[in-house]
Structure 1
Amino acid sequence: MDFKKFLPWIILAIIIIGGYSWVKGINNTAVTLGQDVEQSWGDVQTSYQRRNDLIGNLVNTVKGAADFEKSTLTAVIEARAKATQTTIDPTNITPEQLAAFNSAQSGLSSSLSRLLITVEKYPDLKANQNFLKLQDELASTENQILTARTRFNEAVKPYNTHIKTFPNTLFAGIFGFKEKAYFNAVEGADKPVEVKF
């Protein structure tokens, strides 16, 4: 049998199989890293959901103080509603979507801070065990949110690196992989906080 006659076909088959395996590896790695990003985003949403649930309980506890400022409670309730309406598709996280989400969550954090500061005027409420427990859980949840956001950014980095490096970048567009956005600080977070007594 004359192998020289089949040698070009064997080489061509090896090149096709090798090329297919290489492109498949690029795609499958991007899919795996993309799933890690989506899981991390789910963890972020879970942390924010926990905070929203706690805020609902906190507001109900504060409502028990009959003379408590209604405008402060209304601001928290409205900010909570706005924050829960802002949703993001984890398969296509854009900087604009993340900025809108960040802005809504920042508004909620701000109104919640005003609520907690206002509570200082109400000794009965400050001594309420339910309120104190909710306040502790809220502080713990804020730490969970920070951790979830950090882990999300840690999951985004390898994904973005994978799809932006050459030659992967050539195939990323063909397979529909797009760069994902990172969580950044809320605008103005770099400025020192002004404290007034």
Structure 2
Amino acid sequence: MVVWIVIAVIVVLLILWAVSTYNGLVKLRNLVQEAWRQIDVELKRRHDLIPNLVETVKGYAAHERGTLEDVMKARSAAMAGGQGPAAAAQSENVLTQALGRLIAVAEAYPDLKANQNFLSLQQELSSTEDRIAAGRRYYNANVRELNTKVETVPSNIFASMFHITREEYFEAEEAARTAPSVSFPGTDGTTPAPSTPQD
């Protein structure tokens, strides 16, 4: 009788452990999916800001056509559907580099740098970049934890049984890891100084 009780207790403990392991994997998978959705929202916000930024620059620097077109092409590629996190990261890296060139163009136009619409868009883009970076860290931390569970014994047995697989990281390349950082006159709340013509 005692033997049967011991066996029953062991079986119950194994079942509880199996349920706990499975639930843990599902929870991690859901956290990864939720974190990706948060990044996706910020990426869409970034994409929505870009046409207005390009139009504002075009008003002052219409002859910078190649740079403007590069930004819009990179935006279209980044907005393409069906991309996984790794492919999306590559597209966003290209877009970040194109935006960096666009912001660099603005440096040559004092009137553009002082334009309130441009300043507002640039500040909103910068805060969006910050939120993307924070979201990326949170997403990658959850992916790392899930992937560790999927690859290690004994949780990998349950992951395989229930088709819970590794997830891709969302990583920026080193060259695009930081958003373009440009200091504009008037961003500290002061009135921008008028530009003086150069000889």
Pick the TM interval, shorter chain: 0.7 to 0.9
CA shift, 1:162, in A, is 2.5
Alignment-derived partner of residue 73 in structure 1: 68
1:7-26 → structure 2 map (5 Å cutoff): 13-26=8-21
Whichever residue aligns with residue 18 of structure 1, its letter is L
Alignment-derived partner of residue 195 in structure 1: none
Q: TM-score, normalised by structure 2?
A: 0.78
Whichever residue aligns with residue 57 of structure 1, its letter is N
User: Any gaps of 5 or more consecutive residues in structure 2?
Assistant: 178-199
- Match of residue 134, structure 1, among 108, 113, 121: 121
CA shift, 1:82, in A, is 0.3
Alignment-derived partner of residue 85 in structure 2: 98
* Count of residue correspondences: 177
Once residues 184 and 67 of structure 1 are traced to their aligned partners in structure 2, the CA distance between those partners, rounded to angstroms, is 34
Once residues 108 and 160 of structure 2 are traced to their aligned partners in structure 1, the CA distance between those partners, rounded to angstroms, is 57
Identity of aligned residues (%): 40
Once residues 172 and 22 of structure 1 are traced to their aligned partners in structure 2, the CA distance between those partners, rounded to angstroms, is 14
CA shift, 1:149, in A, is 0.6
| Counterpart check, 1:165 vs 2:160 | no
Residues 137-183 of structure 1: CA deviation (Å, up to 9, x unaligned): 11222111111111111212222233333211122101111122223
Identify if the C-alpha distance between structure 1 residues 49 and 41 changes in structure 2 by more than 3 Å, giving closer, same or farther: same
CA shift, 1:108, in A, is 0.5
| Counterpart check, 1:178 vs 2:173 | no
CA shift, 1:68, in A, is 3.8
Secondary structure of 1:135's counterpart equals helix
CA shift, 1:10, in A, is 5.0
Residues 92-142 of structure 1: CA deviation (Å, up to 9, x unaligned): xxxxx4332121111111111111111222222222100011111112221
Q: Is residue 96–residue 176 contact of structure 2 (8 Å, CA) maintained in 1?
A: no
Q: Is residue 163–residue 172 contact of structure 1 (8 Å, CA) maintained in 2?
A: yes
Once residues 119 and 184 of structure 1 are traced to their aligned partners in structure 2, the CA distance between those partners, rounded to angstroms, is 28
- Match of residue 27, structure 2, among 21, 25, 32: 32
Once residues 106 and 66 of structure 1 are traced to their aligned partners in structure 2, the CA distance between those partners, rounded to angstroms, is 24
Q: TM-score, normalised by structure 1?
A: 0.78
User: Any gaps of 5 or more consecutive residues in structure 1?
Assistant: 89-96, 191-197
Alignment-derived partner of residue 53 in structure 2: 58
